[in-house]
Structure 1
């Protein structure tokens, strides 16, 4: 299998930065309007509330970018002696150290220091094993174990099936066919699945059907399709996005932006998430061809680099922002819109600071440990071979 060439991926970090900022914005909106961060019922301007809430689609942007980079990495490392064992080791040590630290901070520490209740064992086990997305009862209290843990469970579930996906989708036509098939199945089965919930809590069942891997898998496939367009061969699409003129590329960029601007205002159906997936794939293709400096820049790339830590720490930073604004009596002096913006700025600043530290001292050492384990296993496999050659 031919290895993929080394490519510039600054746009990938920028997209991750956009994704985590979007997620933080959506949670800031929920803090104001749902969790009454201002100490009372408060509604933001309808247009601002609607767009802010759709920042949650940053999770789907993470999925698109993840699938694209996973395929690129798997192609590059396909010549390794045990590529899939190494893949799982890299993925586990990429995710687990920071995730388990978040579990200690958000779940264990409050239980030990403040006597808070610990979620049921099934919920804790399902979350820590990254299988909470396969059982709706585990999902119910997953955010009490690690806030936002559902999306990481979906990501890890995709890692489980990734070798099969990688081997099955070895070109763009297959990826496109699989994407269309999955979209049809998900769209058609949505209503019947919601109409016959197997559990008593219909609302929980609806949430579960939305987030579980079969419903999110098309989002990953949009990222895989983008990979083939950029780094393999996808006919005229590949030629255009590698060599096309900037004017036409700008039109595609504007199409992606238009979808992202129009969808929140006109579409309420949860199945619109697939439209976001398409828009994010187009956005990735456009930024690869033309990295706009106002979008692909050093600050945003840094936020993208620390975005996994940021995803786990921004929940705490939102609470810090709430306390700071409370001390300043901002809840009584600011309008809900301005309070929301102040929350976003304070929480984002805190998230960047804290996540830069956790990235350096938790994520990087965790990834380094995974690499050392891979090298140790390779050395063990090489030793018997060397001994055999010497004895001959």
Structure 2
């Protein structure tokens, strides 16, 4: 299956027999898109698309949809989709991949939230349009903490965007993990195109029944608002090993789903950007099957994104995403107080990034070594324990 896709193969000691290398680079680029986009917004410098970190999150969402299905299918022989033990193993893997670093970042965000709020006020004095609710920084209540520890916060309009972290997407991701086994059962019964359309239709129906309610979410932190974007990535994985006609059909369906005007910005340029992201991912992964004049440049791009530097960037992407605002907010506030509003926004952005990037790199590396990798190892040990030894060991 995987030998029909460019950029696959066992890389740098990964435990999976097959891996799509270019996705490492895409994850890394998505994290940089979010980081740079926030830096531009906080500095008041407008660069179309680059200053839109939500598109980086959409790319993350599509990649997540792809990877979950890709590995779910790989493990199907030893972990049947209909077996509850499969669901347990899947949820444990994802929990120990996401939760350890998130809990550490959450503790820092809650503890220093008021200080970050003061930094946010300083930033707003120079870039007024960048301000968000101060409750994100000042709410240190037990209720807020427990809702975030349980990952329930994303489903609640008042709590989906209530810490200094960009963690609304983490809660969203956990909702997707919870739903995935059931989505795969539906798709396994009626097939991919019909299944994807049925799931998307269910999401659209739920949204259409309560549009005013879903409009109360400050960010699209509930699954209904981003399910169609996950489905775009899932279809990309479902196209693995298929003919070029099927790949092209799935790509068109994925692009149409990604462009549904639900969740986030719905201006034509935003919908077109999501379509381009979906088509781009299909092109990088399936270019060998699709062929055409773009096959060679896409092959080179896929190989580059699967190279060791981009692999390392992909491994760091989660840490970059979680930690960057904790570093960036005080950095941009320092620049705002030092240079002031008369300094052009590009100069403020450049200095803020010169401070932020090395610090984020150091924090990410330290967190990866001391929290992320030990957290994954703990998950693997748990799955290999006598109680759960029949589950797959990878985490």
TM (norm. structure 1) is 0.72
Structure 2: segments with no counterpart, 5+ residues? 4-8, 10-16, 118-136, 259-263, 288-298
1:302-341: per-residue Cα shift (whole Å, max 9, x none)?
A: 22211111111101221353266468x4446741023224
- 2: distance between equivalents of 1:183 and 1:336? 41
Match of 2:192 among 168, 175, 178: 175
1:354-379: per-residue Cα shift (whole Å, max 9, x none)?
A: 21221121101000000001111357
How far 1:276 sits from its partner (Å)?
4.2
Stretch of structure 1 that moved more, 329-338 or 215-224 = 329-338
Q: Show the counterpart of 2:27.
A: 16
Alignment of 1:230-379 (within 5 A): 230=240, 232-233=241-242, 236-238=245-247, 269=266, 275-288=272-285, 289=287, 290-292=299-301, 295-322=305-332, 325=335, 329-331=338-340, 334-377=343-386
- 1: distance between equivalents of 2:310 and 2:267? 29
Structure 1: segments with no counterpart, 5+ residues? 34-43, 242-248, 261-266, 383-392
Q: Show the counterpart of 1:143.
A: 163
Indicate conservation of the 8 Å contact 2:43/2:332, yes or no. no
Tell me, yes or no, if structure 1 residue 75 matches structure 2 residue 86: no
What is the number of residues matched between the two proteins? 334
- 2: distance between equivalents of 1:63 and 1:181? 19
Indicate conservation of the 8 Å contact 2:206/2:224, yes or no. no
Q: Show the counterpart of 2:181.
A: 163
- 1: distance between equivalents of 2:272 and 2:198? 15
How far 1:3 sits from its partner (Å)?
10
Secondary structure at the aligned position of 2:52 is classed as: helix
Q: What is the Cα-based RMSD across aligned positions, in Å?
A: 3.9
1:21-67: per-residue Cα shift (whole Å, max 9, x none)?
A: 1111221123123xxxxxxxxxx35xx1x323323211111111111
TM (norm. structure 2) is 0.71
- 1: distance between equivalents of 2:195 and 2:272? 16
1:256-276: per-residue Cα shift (whole Å, max 9, x none)?
A: 9xxx9xxxxxx9626876654
Stretch of structure 1 that moved more, 366-375 or 24-33 = 24-33
Which is richer in helix? 1
Match of 1:7 among 15, 18, 21: 18
Q: Show the counterpart of 2:121.
A: none
1:257-301: per-residue Cα shift (whole Å, max 9, x none)?
A: xxx9xxxxxx96268766544432322222223141665544333
